[in-house]
């Protein structure tokens, strides 16, 4: 992870008047280094040894603050727990049906869909979301090994 991204995120928090507690800094740093779109529970477990007095509620509160400032996106797919993504640029997700892993991918041409939808329906489109589902490499190997 680039230290630059962390510094920029911290500057954004400061500009928004948000206090940078050690826990908030740790949650932000974990999200910036994590490529797996973790749940609040996974973040809590990863930081538990470093912050033994931190609760899951503290993690949720920090995630809410980071989301409100625009540094984090909350991903809600299906019935699973929310996952959190520090990549707030326009991108899409492919989700494993077996383990729930979420992977980012870019496909800029889909933005044309928004203008087409506006032309056809007369709506003012605010955004769109695309989810693709399948089986990840790891789960494919596990399935192959079982047979």
What residue numbers does the annotated binding site for Zn(2+) cover? 96, 99, 136, 139
Neighbours of 139 (CB within 10 A): 16
- Residues annotated in a binding site: 96, 99, 128, 136, 139
CA distance 33 to 14: 21
Q: How many residues does the chain have?
A: 147
CA distance 128 to 85: 17
- Residues annotated in a binding site for Fe cation: 128
Token pair for 16: 């928004």
Strands 83-85 and 131-134: unpaired
Which residue(s) pair with 105 in the sheet? 92
Residues 6+ apart with CB under 8 A from 95: 77, 101, 102, 131, 132, 133, 134
């Amino acid at each position: 992870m680039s230290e630059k991204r962390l510094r920029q995120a911290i500057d954004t928090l400061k500009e928004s008047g948000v206090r940078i507690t050690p826990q908030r800094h740790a949650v932000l740093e974990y999200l910036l280094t994590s490529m797996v779109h973790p749940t609040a529970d996974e973040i809590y477990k990863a930081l538990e040894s470093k912050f033994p007095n931190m609760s899951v509620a503290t993690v949720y509160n920090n995630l809410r603050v980071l989301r409100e400032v625009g540094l984090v996106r909350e991903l809600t797919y299906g019935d699973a727990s929310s996952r959190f993504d520090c990549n707030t640029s326009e991108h899409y997700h492919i989700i494993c049906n077996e383990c729930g892993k979420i992977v980012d991918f870019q496909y800029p041409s889909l933005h044309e869909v928004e203008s087409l939808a506006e032309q056809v329906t007369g709506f003012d489109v605010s955004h769109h979301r695309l989810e693709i589902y399948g089986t990840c490499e790891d789960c494919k190997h596990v399935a192959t090994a079982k047979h």
